[in-house]
C-alpha cells in the first residue's frame, strides 16, 4: 500500500487552513464608500475630502516613522520607481540577490540597467555583504537588498558599503512588512524602502505597492514617476478639480494605486502587528519541531529586533532526503496537509526560468542581461534544499503546527517513494 498521500495514500489531515487574504473589519463599508464617492483613483477629480490613497500614504509613513510614502500599483512598480528616482538608467549595473523573486532582476532590466546577481549568506539567505563588495564596479549605480522570507539582511554591513562607495541602497521589503532592525522598521535604512501588497503578502490589497523615504526630494521624484509626471498640488483643490499638477519636471508612467486598494490597506494595516505576533509564536513552534527532524531554520541577521514571517524557511540537512530536491518534497508534504501552502525555495537567479529577457523585443541587443554565467553556489544549494511554509498557515494554532511537523515526519520517513 502506498503510504504518501501524493502517491494515493491517506493524508494525515483533512481540515482546511486559515483563508488568506482575510478582510479586516469594516472592509465592505470602506469599499462601499469608495464605490459611491465619485472618486476611484488619485487621478480622479477631488470630491471635497482626503482620498484613501493619501490617507493610506500618511498611515504607512507614520507606521514606519518616516517622512514620506508614495503608493504604487504593485511591488514591481515600487522597485522601478525607486530605481529611477535614484537615477538608475541605461548601462548602469544594479547589484541584486542571487536568491529572490524574479522581479528583482526584471525591474532592473526594465529601467534599461543590468542586474548583477551576487550570492547570499547561507544562514539568512539574504545578500552576502562580502559578495556585494566584490561585485562593485565603476558602473554600479545601486544595491537592492531583499529581506527574504523571514530574515532581515545585514543592514549594518550593507549600509556601510553603500555609504563608503556612495551608492544608493534600496530595501526591498515585499516580504518584511513590520520587521525591525535595531528597533527601526525595515525600509527606513536605505534611500528607499519598497513594498508589495500582492495577494500573498502579509499586508495585501490583492495588488499594490508603496515606496517610503526620508528624503523629500526623492519622494517628489517618486510622485512624478508613478503618476505620468504629475505630483500633488501644493494647496487643496476645489471640488471637481484635479489634485495632481502637471509640473513638467520629470516624465513618468501610470503606476498609481486605486482608491479601492488603498481603502482595503488602511484596514489591513491596523491588523498587521497582531498578525505578525501570532506568526512569530507559531514559527517558534516550527523551529523546534522541524529542527528536530533535521530542517535547519532560516536565521535573521544579529541586528534584527523583530521578524516578520512571510514564509517560514528551513534547509533540509539530511543528504539522503535533500538530494531528492524540494520540488518533490514540498508537494508531498502539502498533500498530507490538505493542500497547505508548502513550497520549494526560489530557484537561483542564474537558473530562474521566469527571467528570460531574450523573449522580449525591448531587450534585444542589450549586453549583460544573460545571468546564466554567474556562479551562485549558496543560492543554488538553497534552491535544492530549502523548503518554505506560507504565512497563512502560521495564523493557525498549536495543533496546526503539530500537523505540519507530523506531515514532514511522514514524508521524511517514506522519502524513498519520491525517488524517480
**313, pLDDT greater than 90:** yes
Clarify whether residues 159 and 184 are in a common domain. yes
Clarify whether residues 67 and 156 are in a common domain. yes
Structural domain containing residue 224: 27-268
183 within some domain: yes
Clarify whether residues 248 and 301 are in a common domain. no
Clarify whether residues 380 and 289 are in a common domain. yes
The grid cell for 174 is: 515585499
Find out whether 266 and 52 touch, Cβ atoms under 8 Å.
Answer: yes
Non-local (6+) Cβ contacts of 130 within 8 A are none
Helix (H) / strand (E) element for 63: namely helix 52-64
- What is the average per-residue pLDDT within 20-28? 97
9 within some domain: no
pLDDT at 282: 98
**Mean pLDDT across the chain, nearest whole number?**
97
- What is the average per-residue pLDDT within 317-342? 94
The grid cell for 31 is: 469599499
Distance between the two ends of the chain, CA-based, in angstroms? 18
- What is the average per-residue pLDDT within 130-156? 98
Clarify whether residues 276 and 263 are in a common domain. no
At residue 75's C-alpha, the angle toward residues 73 and 80, to 5°, is 90
The CATH number for 212's domain is 3.40.640.10
**1, pLDDT greater than 70:** no
pLDDT at 312: 98
Clarify whether residues 116 and 202 are in a common domain. yes
Clarify whether residues 34 and 177 are in a common domain. yes
Residue 183 exposed, middle or buried by CB count within 10 Å (0-12, 13-18, 19+): exposed
- What is the average per-residue pLDDT within 371-397? 97
pLDDT at 2: 65
- Percent of the chain's residues with pLDDT above 70: 99
Clarify whether residues 117 and 168 are in a common domain. yes
Clarify whether residues 276 and 199 are in a common domain. no
Clarify whether residues 348 and 393 are in a common domain. yes
Give CA–CA dist 134/25, Å, rounded: 49
pLDDT at 339: 85
Would the CA dihedral through 61, 67, 71, 77 be positive or negative? negative
297 within some domain: yes
* Whole-number Cα distances in Å, 148 to 39, 42, 68, 177, 338: 36, 31, 24, 11, 26
pLDDT at 256: 98
Q: What is the pLDDT of residues 29-84, one digit of tens each?
A: 999 999 999 999 999 999 999 999 999 999 999 999 999 999 999 999 999 999 99
Clarify whether residues 111 and 219 are in a common domain. yes
14 within some domain: no
Asked about 410 being catalytic, the answer comes back as no
Of 243, 268, 293, the one marking the end of a domain is 268
* pLDDT tier, 178 (very low <50, low <70, confident <90, very high otherwise): very high
Clarify whether residues 195 and 326 are in a common domain. no
398 within some domain: yes
Interhelix angle 259-291/52-64, rounded to 10 degrees, is 40
Q: What is the pLDDT of residues 86-102, one digit of tens each?
A: 999 999 999 999 999 99
* Helices assigned H by DSSP within 114-240: 129-135, 155-165, 216-226
Q: Which residue has the cell 535573521?
A: 300
Of 234, 268, 302, the one marking the end of a domain is 268
- What is the average per-residue pLDDT within 12-37? 96
Residue in 201, 364, 402, 410 annotated catalytic:
201
Of 204, 239, 268, the one marking the end of a domain is 268
148 within some domain: yes
110 HSE (CA, 13 A, CB side): 17
**168, pLDDT greater than 60:** yes
Question: pTM to 2 decimals?
Answer: 0.97
Give CA–CA dist 209/118, Å, rounded: 25
* pLDDT tier, 116 (very low <50, low <70, confident <90, very high otherwise): very high
Number of separate domains in the chain: 2
pLDDT at 420: 66
pLDDT at 419: 82
Amino acid at each position: 500500500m502506498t503510504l504518501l498521500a501524493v502517491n494515493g495514500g491517506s493524508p494525515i489531515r483533512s481540515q482546511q487552513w486559515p483563508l488568506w487574504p482575510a478582510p479586516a473589519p469594516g472592509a465592505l463599508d470602506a469599499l462601499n464608500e469608495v464605490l459611491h464617492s465619485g472618486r476611484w483613483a488619485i487621478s480622479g477629480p477631488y470630491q471635497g475630502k482626503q482620498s484613501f490613497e493619501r490617507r493610506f500614504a500618511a498611515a504607512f509613513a507614520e507606521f514606519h516613522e518616516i517622512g514620506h510614502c508614495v503608493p504604487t500599483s504593485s511591488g514591481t512598480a515600487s522597485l522601478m520607481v525607486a530605481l529611477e528616482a535614484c537615477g538608475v538608467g541605461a548601462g548602469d549595473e544594479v547589484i541584486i540577490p542571487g536568491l529572490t523573486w524574479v522581479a528583482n532582476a526584471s525591474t532592473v532590466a526594465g529601467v534599461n540597467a543590468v542586474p548583477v546577481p551576487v550570492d547570499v549568506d547561507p544562514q539568512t539567505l539574504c545578500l552576502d555583504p562580502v559578495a556585494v563588495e566584490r561585485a562593485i564596479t565603476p558602473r554600479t549605480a545601486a544595491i537592492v537588498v531583499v529581506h527574504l522570507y523571514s530574515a532581515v539582511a545585514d543592514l549594518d554591513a550593507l549600509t556601510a558599503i553603500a555609504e563608503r562607495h556612495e551608492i544608493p541602497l534600496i530595501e526591498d521589503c515585499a516580504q518584511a512588512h513590520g520587521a525591525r532592525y535595531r528597533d527601526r522598521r525595515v525600509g527606513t535604512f536605505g534611500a528607499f524602502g519598497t513594498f508589495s501588497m500582492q495577494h500573498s503578502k502579509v499586508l495585501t490589497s490583492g495588488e499594490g505597492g508603496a515606496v517610503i523615504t526620508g528624503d523629500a526630494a526623492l519622494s517628489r521624484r517618486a510622485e512624478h514617476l508613478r503618476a505620468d509626471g504629475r505630483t500633488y498640488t501644493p494647496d487643496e483643490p476645489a471640488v471637481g478639480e484635479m489634485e495632481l499638477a502637471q509640473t513638467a519636471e520629470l516624465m513618468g508612467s501610470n503606476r498609481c494605486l486605486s482608491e479601492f486598494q488603498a481603502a482595503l490597506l488602511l484596514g489591513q494595516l491596523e491588523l498587521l502587528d497582531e498578525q505578525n505576533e501570532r506568526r512569530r509564536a507559531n514559527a517558534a513552534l516550527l523551529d523546534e519541531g522541524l529542527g528536530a527532524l533535521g530542517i535547519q531554520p532560516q536565521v535573521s541577521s544579529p541586528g534584527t529586533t523583530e521578524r516578520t514571517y512571510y514564509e517560514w524557511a528551513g534547509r533540509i540537512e539530511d543528504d539522503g532526503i535533500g538530494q531528492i530536491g524540494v520540488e518533490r518534497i514540498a508537494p508531498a508534504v502539502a498533500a498530507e496537509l490538505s493542500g497547505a501552502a508548502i513550497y520549494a525555495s526560489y530557484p537561483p537567479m542564474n537558473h530562474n526560468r521566469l527571467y528570460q529577457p531574450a523573449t522580449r523585443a525591448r531587450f534585444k541587443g542589450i549586453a549583460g542581461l544573460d545571468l546564466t554565467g554567474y556562479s551562485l553556489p549558496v543560492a543554488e544549494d538553497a534552491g535544492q534544499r530549502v523548503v518554505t511554509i506560507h504565512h497563512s498557515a502560521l495564523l493557525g494554532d498549536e495543533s496546526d503546527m503539530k500537523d505540519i511537523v507530523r506531515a514532514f515526519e511522514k514524508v521524511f520517513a517514506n522519502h524513498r517513494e519520491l525517488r524517480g
